[in-house]
Amino acid sequence: MGPMEPHRERVQWPGWFFLALGLVMVAAFVALGASDAAPAWAFAAAAGPFLLAAYGLWRLRHVEIEFGPEGVGFGFGAIRRRVPRERVVSAEARDYPAVRYMGWGYRLGWEPRERAYSVLGCRRGVLVTFDDERGRRWKVFLSCREPEQAIAALGP
């Protein structure tokens, strides 16, 4: 029997979320452009931050996870972390406690060193507990459509 294959997932935000966000941005541009009180340069000046925010949200549109015998990798866009298997204390399938993290996305928990990488519409995931390089204990919730398979990929 060969080595176990890693479990990889890319959990995306629902398409309707970005459609609604785009419509709000278009409405803001139209309102700003239709205002007689706003000079023409205000419209152009407002476009930059809106486009930058849209690009940032687009880059963070999915959580990528990888569970395997070497450990756990996870992240949004360029925000990435890899935890070696020997530092993983536990991994358990859970429902996402949205109230605990007060929403979705990259979230801080109620306790220090508690985080969530969550996606609206994904109700389950894996709560990974691990020790960092300094021996501090972390808890990270990762949105995952197949949490049991992810945990099994970590091996014994």
List, for residues 12-50, the tens digit of each pLDDT value: 776 677 677 777 777 776 766 666 666 666 666 767 777
Determine the straight-line distance between the first and last CA of the chain, rounded to whole angstroms.
Answer: 15
Q: Is 50 exposed, middle or buried (0-12, 13-18, 19+ CB in 10 A)?
A: middle
What is the number of alpha carbons within 13 Å of residue 152 lying toward its C-beta? 6
Per-residue pLDDT at 125 exceeds 70: yes
Spans of all domains in the chain: 12-59, 63-153
| Helix, strand, coil percentages in the chain from 3-state DSSP, rounded to 5 | 35, 35, 30
> What CA–CA distances, in Å, run from 102 to 17, 66, 120, 124, 129?
17, 25, 12, 16, 20
CA dist 127 and 117 (Å) reads 10
Flag whether the pTM goes above 0.85: no
In this structure, how many other beta carbons lie within 10 angstroms of the beta carbon of residue 4?
A: 14
- Kindly state the tokens that stand for 118: 């969550």
Q: What pLDDT is attached to residue 81? A: 93
Report how far apart, in Å, the C-alpha atoms of 103 and of each of 96, 98, 107, 108 are. 10, 5, 7, 10
